[in-house]
Amino acid sequence: MRKLFFIVLLMLVLPALLFSTLENGAGYVLIAVGDTTVEMAFLMAVVLNLLAFAALYFLIAALRSLLSTRRGVLGWAKNQRKQRGLNRTTQGLIAFVEGRWDYARKSLDKAADNASTPLVNYLFAARASSAMGDAKAVDAYLKQAELSTEGADVAIGLTQAELQIHNGQYEQALATLLRAKKIANHHPVVLSLLAKVYRQLNDWDSLLKLLPNMRKFHALPAPELSDFERDVCCAKLVRAADEKQRESLMACWKQLPGDMRKDLAVIECYANCLLSIDAHDEAERVLRYHLQRQYQSRLIKLYGLTAAQASDKQLAFANKLLKLHGEDPGLLLALARIEISHGKTTEAKQHLQQSVELGGVEGVFAELGAIAASEGDYRKSSEYYSKALEAQAASASLAAALPLAVESDTANAGADQQDANALFASADSIPSISVR
């Protein structure tokens, strides 16, 4: 209140002093500009100054209001363009998912300039162009994507690599992914796509080197990665066995990771490869080494197929296993085969009969038929061979039924298997085209 009182008092006192000064005749203003002079009463000069100040004030206010209105109009127009861009982008993505490639590409292309994320528009426009078979447009959109957003080289490279893989252009995809790997050495999607390309190119050595990083950076789930590594090791062994050189196959085996040399499936694969090149002594040694540490029915079957030179030692080891695992029909079959190679058909026949009584395994009836034929009992031999054929047919029917289930599952999830850990899952529906 005091402040307000002093302000009011000042407003009353100042005019009084002003008019008092004017009445005493002490007040005029003289303005001289060159040869021109202007003389006026002091009160008039004050009024003119106040009017000039007020005019200047209102002029500035009007200009500020005008500029503010212009900015508001421009901002409103910009927001409208962004909203239209967002709507077109949404429509384009919906059309892309629905497979309307031409409409999707046009919508995404038109919306790119006004979109907040033009990279997405250009990448999906490239995918739509790929679906339409327009390779030039694919390259153009990928180039625009590169120019639109800095630091998106990996995303662009992954998109290009996925399209190349989908169209079987594995050499080009490899080059694209190696460039992306230089930028993002530990990117899990880059690693998983590289693994897919190496697998398609049968580059097992590079793939085996890549697996540690895939495991470290979780490029695939752990169980799937273990299966993948197992397949790679077996593929390397089979390739080495194709050379028909025992030393090459053994060297390949020693180069495998230590944990894989203890894996049952890989051991079984190695033993089969050894048998395929008639390296029976090495196969017998490897199988015996692992059977001593852990008994496995899958390995004992192969052990019975080996024809090692030290057959007495092999027979003694099989008899030793029989004391510990006499209820395994597969062991009885393996022992019988070893006994047959020693000419001990009576003992072999006895063990084969025991295997049948325990449920039998594939190959038992064929061995019994061969023994009966060697003894001249052709009627019995025919019966055994008939049973062997029946067992083989039943086994073949079961094996044929399994792929049907697998194919059914694959049909339901084919897109996921086509581009695992892909950046955009919908790319799997793209038809084949040529991508540089």
Q: What is the dihedral of CA 342, 347, 349, 355, to 10 degrees?
A: -110
Query: For residue 284, what pLDDT is reported?
Result: 94
pLDDT of residue 74: 57
Looking at residue 244, what is its pLDDT?
Answer: 87
Give the CA dihedral 415, 420, 424, 426, nearest 10 degrees. Answer: 0
User: Over the stretch 158-190, which tens digit does the pLDDT of each residue have?
Assistant: 999 999 998 888 999 999 999 999 998 889 999
Res 35: pLDDT: 75
Q: List the one residue out of 123, 127, 137, 76 whose CA is nearest residue 100.
A: 127
- Among residues 323, 331, 268, which one has the least CA distance to residue 297? 331
H-only helix segments in 100-221: 101-112, 118-132, 135-148, 153-166, 170-183, 188-200, 204-216
State pLDDT tens for residues 15-71: 666 666 555 555 666 777 777 887 777 667 776 777 787 788 888 888 887 777 666
Token pair for 383:
């019966």
CA distance 253 to 261: 8
**Phi and psi at residue 92, in whole multiples of 5°?**
-65, -40
pLDDT of amino acid 8 = 60
- Smallest Cα–Cα separation from 272: which of 240, 295, 294? 240
* Residues of the chain scoring pLDDT < 70: 1-29, 42-43, 47, 69-81, 397-436
Side chain identity at residue 150, one-letter code = E
